[in-house]
């Protein structure tokens, strides 16, 4: 049955809304609670890691709950809508904290953040799982996945680009108030987006049995599929580098570059970075694909991202950090490369599914792609933990209780910040490059060969 443009648009709008919420949490919770509210970075990082790991483990449980659901609205849409409303409420309270201090504030943060993760999973798992339930057309399903991932990138970019400037305008110099108001706006957009999805999409095949995946099944499938293992390890390394950057870059612009207009400079950098990421996915990758194989493009982008971080460090060490035009050059390299890497990791996971079927005789598509969600969340947890420990180690003093005045940091703290946001990502990306180069064998030719052999097997069966 054909999937309509209205439904495809609603699915994409839903992705924008939910990833705006995810990006606000992933990129700004550390900054909000450490820099604005004054909780130690090490404590915030530890709680964030615990919550993300718990959230990743909770994913399969949510899959089981959804699989057993049966309502007149379908299996998935009720959970999307319920999870959205609950998550939006939690988001508002996460960025509108009562006047608390000390252990009371830490307890509040710990509870509210774990609640945020649980309620986000409540809507995120059924969102992606509904694809087979709304259309039986293979091309439509593929297009839904592409639209969903692309629009998710748009939602992420909107938050990356607009948050700091919006907070400055809404708070009129009071970041705490600005974040509170901005969270309410994002929460409202989120609810509207998922409501549109709920009313525009119908589950046509809800009678089909939904496959659910346990943590042991994920790892068992990985151990039996060395190419999926290589891809997953590469995803963890790349995403850890990316999340470390996204959590630290705001500190760099606020305290290292500084100045009264730091929020505008940060917004400009983020805007160019977000545009570069989308440009990489939608324009540069298709152009490169005409001349190079996917594995070649992947290695090229890893090298480009490493070079971008190296150039950023060199610019800082040579005293050009305050020149935004120069800073934009490494930023473009990193973000453009990351956009392409995001597309290719999904392509490689798909190829590893075929490889696994050829090797074992079992096609474990749902297991492999469930692992993708698991490891991305795990990478996020590791990244924020390292960020929190790193901020504490370099002695960065937050802006809490200074009535908006930016605290001057020591020269050693600023140097430590520069090294943290460049050397750790460089190390992760270099490790990803060598793991991929030495262990990944699914070139375009090899993938086509496997696909042809599987097709022949099916025809014979």
Residues 240 and 152 in one domain: no
Residues 300 and 191 in one domain: no
**Burial call 139-164: b when 16+ CB within 10 Å, e when fewer:** ebeebbbebbbbbbbbbbbbbbbbbb
Give the integer Cα–Cα distance in Å for 331 and 187. Answer: 29
- Domains held by the chain: number: 2
Residue 60 gets the label, from left (phi > 0), alpha (psi -120 to 50) or beta, of alpha
Domain assignment of residue 174, yes or no:
yes
Domain assignment of residue 208, yes or no:
no
If one counts every other C-beta atom within 10 angstroms of the C-beta of residue 455, the result is 10
Q: At 71, is the secondary structure helix, strand, or coil?
A: strand
pLDDT tens figures, 106-150? 999 999 999 998 899 888 888 877 776 777 666 676 577 667 777
Give the integer Cα–Cα distance in Å for 4 and 9. Answer: 9
Tokens of 368: 């492999």
Domain that holds residue 312: 213-461
Position 49 confidence tier, pLDDT thresholds 50, 70, 90: confident
Domain assignment of residue 207, yes or no:
no
Place of tokens 């409420």: 89
Tokens of 195: 């409501």
Give the integer Cα–Cα distance in Å for 206 and 71. Answer: 10
- Better-scored residue on pLDDT, 170 or 134: 170
Domain assignment of residue 250, yes or no:
yes
- Domain of residue 221, CATH code: 1.20.1250.20
Q: At 321, is the secondary structure helix, strand, or coil?
A: coil
Residues 348 and 460 in one domain: yes
Residues 326 and 346 in one domain: yes
* CB distance 312 to 331 below 8 Å: yes
pLDDT tens figures, 209-231? 555 556 666 667 667 888 988 99
Residues 443 and 423 in one domain: yes
* CB distance 192 to 66 below 8 Å: no
Residues 67 and 99 in one domain: yes
Residues 171 and 304 in one domain: no
Residues 280 and 164 in one domain: no
Final residue of a domain: which of 173, 202, 231? 202
Domain assignment of residue 1, yes or no:
yes
Give the integer Cα–Cα distance in Å for 451 and 222. Answer: 20
Provide the CB-side half-sphere exposure for 390 (13 A, CA): 24
Give the per-residue pLDDT at 189. 96
Q: Per-residue pLDDT averaged across 236-258, rounded?
A: 88
Domain assignment of residue 173, yes or no:
yes
What residues form DSSP beta bridges with 71?
74
Phi/psi of residue 104, each to 5°?
-65, -40
Q: What is the dihedral of CA 234, 237, 238, 241, to 10 degrees?
A: -170
Work out the percent of the chain whose per-residue pLDDT is above 90. Answer: 38
Residues 237 and 278 in one domain: yes
Final residue of a domain: which of 167, 202, 237? 202
Final residue of a domain: which of 202, 235, 251? 202
Average pLDDT for the chain:
85
Phi/psi of residue 46, each to 5°?
-65, -45
Residues 57 and 4 in one domain: yes
Give the per-residue pLDDT at 312. 94
pTM equals: 0.81
Asked whether the predicted pLDDT for residue 336 surpasses 50, the reply is yes
Residues 97 and 220 in one domain: no
Give the per-residue pLDDT at 205. 52
If one counts every other C-beta atom within 10 angstroms of the C-beta of residue 335, the result is 26
Residues 314 and 267 in one domain: yes
Burial category of 286 from C-beta neighbours within 10 Å (exposed 0-12, middle 13-18, buried 19 and up) = exposed
């Amino acid at each position: 049955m054909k999937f309509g443009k209205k439904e495809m648009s609603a699915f994409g709008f839903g992705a924008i809304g939910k990833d705006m919420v995810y990006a606000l949490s992933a990129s700004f919770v550390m900054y909000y609670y450490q820099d604005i509210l004054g909780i130690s970075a090490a404590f915030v990082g530890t709680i964030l890691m615990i919550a993300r790991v718990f959230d990743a483990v909770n994913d399969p449980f949510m899959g089981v709950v959804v699989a057993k659901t049966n309502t007149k609205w379908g299996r998935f849409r009720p959970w999307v809508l319920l999870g959205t409303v609950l998550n939006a409420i939690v988001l508002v309270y996460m960025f509108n904290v009562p006047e608390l201090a000390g252990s009371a504030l830490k307890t509040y943060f710990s509870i509210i953040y774990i609640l945020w993760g649980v309620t986000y999973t409540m809507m995120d798992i059924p969102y992606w799982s509904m694809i087979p339930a709304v259309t039986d057309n293979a091309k439509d399903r593929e297009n839904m996945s592409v639209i969903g991932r692309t629009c998710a990138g748009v939602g992420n970019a909107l938050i990356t680009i607009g948050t700091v400037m919006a907070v400055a305008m809404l708070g009129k110099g009071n970041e705490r108030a600005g974040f509170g108001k901005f969270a309410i706006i994002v929460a409202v957009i989120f609810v509207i987006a998922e409501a549109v999805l709920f009313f525009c999409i119908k589950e046509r095949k809800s009678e089909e049995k939904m496959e659910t995946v346990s943590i042991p099944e994920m790892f068992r499938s990985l151990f039996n599929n060395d190419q999926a293992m290589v891809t997953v390890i590469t995803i963890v390394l790349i995403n850890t580098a990316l999340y470390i950057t996204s959590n630290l870059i705001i500190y760099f612009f606020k305290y290292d570059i500084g100045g009264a207009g730091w929020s505008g400079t940060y917004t400009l950098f983020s805007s160019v970075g977000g545009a570069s990421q989308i440009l990489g996915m939608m324009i540069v990758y298709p152009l490169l694909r005409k001349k190079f194989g996917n594995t070649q493009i992947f290695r090229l982008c890893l090298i480009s991202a490493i070079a971008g971080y190296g150039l950023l460090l060199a610019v800082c060490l040579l005293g050009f950090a305050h020149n935004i035009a120069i800073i934009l050059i490494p930023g473009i390299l990193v973000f453009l490369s990351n956009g392409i890497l995001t597309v290719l990791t999904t392509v490689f996971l798909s190829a590893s599914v075929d490889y696994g079927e050829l090797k074992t005789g079992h096609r474990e598509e749902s297991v492999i792609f469930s692992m993708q969600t698991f490891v991305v969340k795990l990478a996020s947890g590791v990244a924020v933990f390292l960020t929190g420990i790193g901020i504490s180690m370099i002695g960065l003093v937050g802006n809490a209780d200074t009535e908006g005045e930016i605290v001057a940091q020591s020269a050693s703290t600023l140097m430590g910040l520069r090294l943290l946001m460049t050397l750790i990502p460089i190390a992760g990306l270099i490790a990803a490059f060598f793991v991929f180069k030495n262990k990944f064998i699914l070139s375009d030719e090899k993938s086509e060969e496997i696909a042809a052999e599987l097709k022949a097997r099916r025809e014979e069966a």
